[in-house]
Amino acid sequence: MSTAIATFSVAVVDCREPRAVAEFYSALTGAPVERADDGWVQLAATRGVALALQHAPDHVPPQWPEAAHPQQLHLDFDVPDLDAAEERVLAIGARKHEHQPGENFRVYLDPAGHPFCLVRAGSV
């Protein structure tokens, strides 16, 4: 029996212009745009993981390694059962975020406060 809770599926990067940034990463990786809609552009998965660019109108680009503008990223993990996965991630130290904008995914914070999502497998 596997002890894994989830499968890493999508790395999501916030930016002001998702289409332009997606085109850059598409050119860099050769991965074509697989899905694009208001505020979200996703490249086809390569080696099992997709890269998505999410519209964030107030995004401030990181000034790495400056602490005032740290790197900004969240990770999505596919799960077959949101309720069961939630129970397990809370048990290992995640906190459920108070803002939950969708029904096919849930937002949590890792122990350091970085956001990540559990996504109902096959829903995105």
Asked if the structure places residue 88 within a domain, the reply is yes
Asked if the structure places residue 89 within a domain, the reply is yes
Q: What is the domain extent for residue 116?
A: 7-120
Domain total in the chain = 1
Asked if the structure places residue 51 within a domain, the reply is yes
Residues 24-65: tens digit of each pLDDT: 999 999 999 999 998 999 999 988 899 999 999 998 888 877
Q: Considering only CA atoms, which of 46, 50, 38, 45 is closest in space to residue 13?
A: 50
Confirm whether pTM is higher than 0.75.
yes
H or E element, residue 23: helix 18-29
Asked if the structure places residue 1 within a domain, the reply is no
Asked if the structure places residue 62 within a domain, the reply is yes
Q: Quick check: 116 pLDDT over 80?
A: yes
Per-residue confidence (pLDDT) for residue 66, from 0 to 100: 83
Asked if the structure places residue 2 within a domain, the reply is no
Asked if the structure places residue 21 within a domain, the reply is yes
CATH of the domain at 80: 3.10.180.10
Average pLDDT of 56-75? Answer: 82
Summary mean pLDDT of the chain: 91
**Looking at 3-94, which runs of residues are DSSP E strands?**
7-15, 33-37, 40-43, 50-55, 74-79
